[in-house]
Structure 1
Amino acid sequence: MMELTRDQRLHLRAQAHGLQPVVMIGNNGLTDAVIREIAVNLDAHELIKVRVLGDDREQRETWFAEICSVLGCAAVQHIGKLLVLYRPNHDGKSKVTLNKPKPQNKPAANTAKKKASTSGTGRR
């Protein structure tokens, strides 16, 4: 299982915000077919959401930990019935940035203040 720093996890959560779930764990639970489907989607996308049907929070937490240990991925977030998982590609063609890009130096803006009009009513 991968470990992420707090900043990495926050950055990945922000990137995952607009994603739709690509895998659903249904009434049959965490089957081998579901594990394979999660693995295929992690290979394709690196950062995915998984929707879990069912109301048992402890069961969802157990499945989350099991998925991460079996597939060697990182647990990014568990919010409600959604699980966010991350596993980088090893081919060097990463689609997801793990760290925030550093801001580039921008030229200083013109800080000169414009003179206010002092004529009569201020209308032009």
Structure 2
Amino acid sequence: MKSYIKDSKMRSALKGAAQKIEPTLSLGKNSITPEFIEAVREYMEKHELMKIHVLKNCIDDLRELGNTIAERSGTELVQIIGRMIVLYKPAKEEKDRKFSL
């Protein structure tokens, strides 16, 4: 898969921006479903950065979850902090990109 994050400076900027946003989706005991992946794709069409809250009743490994969601949705895993997964995908139009450092 193509990497959208160019360097550590960009990853650091994305992490900082992620601190300011609220989680968009929650992932529970049903884990990853096709509907969940579709919701991630739809959200990422309009936004570049997304935060997903993994509920305590989800027993899957957070790193595996983050990598699987990123792979299936065409996004890139920025970080996992606590029970939060942060994903990034640049806007299609160059002029709409907020994080093209």
How does the TM-score come out when normalised to structure 1? 0.71
Alignment match, 2:85: 83
- Identity between Structure 1 and Structure 2 (%): 26
Conserved in 1, the CA contact under 8 Å of 2:50 and 2:88?
yes
Unaligned runs of 5+ in 2: none
1:39 aligned partner, one-letter code: R
Alignment match, 1:61: 63
2:63 aligned partner, one-letter code: E
Alignment of 1:21 onto 2:23: yes
Residue deviations 1:74-96 (CA, integer Å, cap 9, x gap): 11110010011000121334242
Q: CA RMSD in A?
A: 1.9
Unaligned runs of 5+ in 1: 100-124
Alignment match, 2:33: 31
User: Cα–Cα, structure 1 residues 58 and 31, in superposed 2: closer, same or farther, change >3 Å?
Assistant: closer
Structure number with greater Rg is 1
Q: Distance in 2 between matches of 1:27 and 1:83?
A: 16
